[in-house]
Amino acid sequence: MGYLNNSVVTVDAILTNKGRELLARGDGSFRITQFALSDDEIDYTLYNPTHPSGSAFYGQAIENMPLLEAFPETTQNLRYKLVTLPRGTAKMPVLDLGFSQVTLKQGASLAITPQTLNYLGNNQVFEANGYTATIADVRVLNTFNGVGIQTEGAVALNQTETLGTNVSSTVVGTTINMTATTVNTLFGSNTELNTTLQVIGRDSGARITIPIKITKTNA
Amino acid sequence: MSFTRLSPDDFLISADSVTAGAWTGNVPTLTSFNTSSVQVASTSGNYYLNIYQTGSTQTAAEIQFNIAFGDAAGSGSLLYDAGINGKSFTSTVYGQWQNIVLGDENNQFIFGGVTPVTQSFYAISVERSKYKGSIFPGTLALTIQSSSAGGNFDLQLTDNSNDVSTTVFNEAGRVFQIVSGSAGKAIGSGATPSDAVANGMTASGSYGLFLPDVGAIILNATALGLESSGGGVGLNTLYNSNTTDNNPAILYNAISASGNFTLNSQENITSDYVFVRAKNSQFNYSSNPSFISGSTGEVLYNNFINAPQTFVTTIGMYNDENELLAVAKLSKPLIKDFTKEALVRVKLDF
């Protein structure tokens, strides 16, 4: 008979940039109410279900790997969340934007309505809490907003004007609207601008990233 | 279903007191004392003297504390206006500390029950970053060396926090008397001058006031000026009118000669503990791209359908708007499947 291991794993948390911002506001907006887990850094191809020593060793290569420290940059953490799904799930939720890439002419508009496949027993479904969309370089768009989600946070996020150079912008909605920039100077001597759009299901945690290309049409 | 709500039972707030050496590098005892000629020559040099742990021009130099001299009559420094007596740098310092410690411009400093006729003192202000939240009572050990004709004599000063059963408060928070002794206790009656008002004190009262909550030490200039037989070190404080007497430098020399100034800092660190509980049925699948094969979402291995295994590396703390406020990384991946539950205590320091 041996002693049971009753230890509790204790880890120190750091505040993210967003956490510092909300804490600095001092208006009570820094309020932790929920948590999520992720397996960032894990490569499941290292999992070996044919390990000759048996199932206890399937994940050996992963369990012993060293991990990096947390990043304060909000967008670089919890990129791949763990999700709670019924046992027997054969397919993971994946997002379908209807586009594998987007090419827009200057001034052209596009509305993207994401759907989630293989989620909650449905082949395809619109998530109730909508989708978070992040454009990596907000300069390439004249407008970028989300519609369809009216929570206080989503409305505030959609109304936030992002200033600066080469910064990202995030919106929330069931439909994401965008209009390509009409500013010529951004192109320089190039004929196109390139960036990425990342969309995450707010319920499922599924994510997809597609390239965005803006082509120059104005002389 | 990536987010799990926390219940009130999952939160715990704990305030822990942390003590450390007060000086640069968390060293408890300062043995080397240096000043800056640039600071002495500047406007601030009229009021106080900055003390560094090393030469002030060295890159590692940091201000440890400063010494000011205050006198109610304005003696010991130039007058602001030669035609107006009593208004000088030293009277400014006196009024400043009178406001902080006594709170009333009509009150006088009282040291160990004695009100000095000459209302003057040395004020040692420890740098805020050094004492952090407050000075830890009972750790003060300040040696002042006399250089009288009769030979050098070291006076060991400490606070009397371990002698008193009831803490006294004034406008600056807790206040203790500075006495001759060590480790927060005064010396006995046998070593105390016979005319002293109490053990470890002098006929002029205590050696000063120890104010841990504002990181300051007020030294009684009158007591320090007594000869060794009276419990002092014969500190030659000058009281010339409309003259730069540089009294802070006099105390600096007496402290520097001894090479011993010990203090511990004290800081209350409030920690927010969040207990993260992952139940057996939760978090057993992953949105990690390597968890699936192809673009249609099939799990990577067939045995992941009924016996999936995930590896927790990161815990994110969110608000109601799904904004990531804090993040914690595990030191190694934590395996999770339908047969396991995980309990992780996440610590947030403020």
Residues B303-326 have pLDDT tens digits of: 888 889 999 999 999 988 778 899
pLDDT greater than 90 at residue B97 = yes
pLDDT greater than 70 at residue A1 = no
**Closest residue in A to B336 (Cα–Cα):** A82
Residues 6+ apart with CB under 8 A from A77: A16, A38, A40, A70, A71, B314, B316, B324, B327
**Closest residue in A to B7 (Cα–Cα):** A33
Q: Is A99 exposed, middle or buried (0-12, 13-18, 19+ CB in 10 A)?
A: middle
Q: Which residues pair with B16 in a beta bridge?
A: B269
Q: Tell me which residue in A16, A65, A80 faces B327 most closely, judged by beta carbons.
A: A16
φ, ψ for residue A11, nearest 5 deg: -130, 145
pLDDT greater than 70 at residue A161 = no
| Region B171-176 average pLDDT | 94
Instruction: Please indicate whether, in this complex, the C-beta atoms of A9 and B344 are within 8 angstroms of each other.
Output: yes
Residues 6+ apart with CB under 8 A from B297: A91, A92, A93, A94, A117, A118
Chain B neighbors of A198, CB-CB under 8 A? none
CA angle at residue B159 from B153 to B162, to 5 degrees?
Answer: 125
Listed in sequence order, the DSSP H helices in A10-73 are 17-25, 60-63
Beta strand residue intervals within chain A, DSSP E: 9-15, 34-38, 82-83, 94-96, 102-105, 109-112, 115-119, 122-125, 131-135, 141-147, 169-173, 175-180, 192-201, 207-215
Chain B neighbors of A92, CB-CB under 8 A? 285-287, 291-292, 297-299
Instruction: Please indicate whether, in this complex, the C-beta atoms of A49 and B284 are within 8 angstroms of each other.
Output: no
C-beta of residue A89 within 8 angstroms of C-beta of residue B338: no
Q: Is B228 on the interface with A (CB under 8 A)?
A: no
Q: Which residues pair with B292 in a beta bridge?
A: B299
Task: Tell me A76's DSSP state.
Answer: G
Instruction: Please indicate whether, in this complex, the C-beta atoms of B1 and A90 are within 8 angstroms of each other.
Output: no
pLDDT greater than 60 at residue A162 = no
Q: Tell me which residue in A13, A39, A80 faces B346 most closely, judged by beta carbons.
A: A13
b (16+ CB within 10 A) / e for A10-19: ebebbbbebb
Residues B29-45 have pLDDT tens digits of: 999 999 999 999 999 99
C-beta of residue A139 within 8 angstroms of C-beta of residue A186: yes
φ, ψ for residue A157, nearest 5 deg: -65, -40
Q: How far is A28 from chain B (nearest CA, A)?
A: 11
Q: What percent of chain B clears pLDDT 70, i.e. is strictly above it? A: 98
CA distance to B153, B199, B218, B232, B259, per residue, from B228 (Å): 8, 15, 20, 5, 19
- State residue A8's pLDDT score: 62
Through-space distance between the first and last CA atoms of chain B, rounded to whole angstroms: 30
pLDDT greater than 60 at residue B92 = yes
Q: Is A37 exposed, middle or buried (0-12, 13-18, 19+ CB in 10 A)?
A: buried
Query: Whole-angstrom Cα distance, residue B40 to residue B46?
Result: 7
Split at pLDDT 50, 70, 90, the class of B147 is: low
Query: Whole-angstrom Cα distance, residue B299 to residue A52?
Result: 22
Q: Tell me which residue in B297, B301, B349 faces A118 most closely, judged by beta carbons.
A: B297
pLDDT greater than 90 at residue A113 = yes
Query: Whole-angstrom Cα distance, residue B15 to residue A138?
Result: 43
Query: Whole-angstrom Cα distance, residue A87 to residue A74?
Result: 31
Query: Whole-angstrom Cα distance, residue B292 to residue B166?
Result: 68
pLDDT greater than 60 at residue B149 = no
φ, ψ for residue B132, nearest 5 deg: 60, -105
Split at pLDDT 50, 70, 90, the class of B236 is: very high
C-beta of residue B281 within 8 angstroms of C-beta of residue B287: no
- State residue A135's pLDDT score: 87
Chain B neighbors of A69, CB-CB under 8 A? 329
pTM here is 0.66
pLDDT greater than 90 at residue A137 = no
Residues 6+ apart with CB under 8 A from A172: A130, A131, A132, A133, A146, A149, A151, A153, A154, A157, A158, A202
Q: Is B332 on the interface with A (CB under 8 A)?
A: yes
pLDDT greater than 60 at residue B160 = yes
Query: Whole-angstrom Cα distance, residue B126 to residue B215?
Result: 5
Q: How far is A135 from chain B (nearest CA, A)?
A: 17
| Region B84-89 average pLDDT | 93
- State residue A66's pLDDT score: 86
Instruction: Please indicate whether, in this complex, the C-beta atoms of B318 and A34 are within 8 angstroms of each other.
Output: yes
Chain A neighbors of B298, CB-CB under 8 A? 90-92
Q: Tell me which residue in A13, A39, A66 faces B312 most closely, judged by beta carbons.
A: A39
Q: Tell me which residue in B274, B305, B311 faces A59 most closely, judged by beta carbons.
A: B311
CA distance to A123, B99, B152, B230, per residue, from B149 (Å): 98, 38, 8, 16
**Closest residue in B to A21 (Cα–Cα):** B325
Region of poorest pLDDT, from B58-67, B100-109, B157-166: B100-109
Mutation target to probe the A interface, by most A beta carbons within 10 A, among B276, B321, B330 is B321
pLDDT greater than 90 at residue B263 = yes
| Region B154-162 average pLDDT | 95
On whether ipTM exceeds 0.90, the answer is no
Chain A with chain B: Cβ pairs closer than 8 A:
271
Q: Tell me which residue in B287, B299, B309 faces A90 most closely, judged by beta carbons.
A: B299
pLDDT greater than 80 at residue A70 = yes
C-beta of residue B137 within 8 angstroms of C-beta of residue B173: no
Q: How far is B26 from chain A (nearest CA, A)?
A: 22
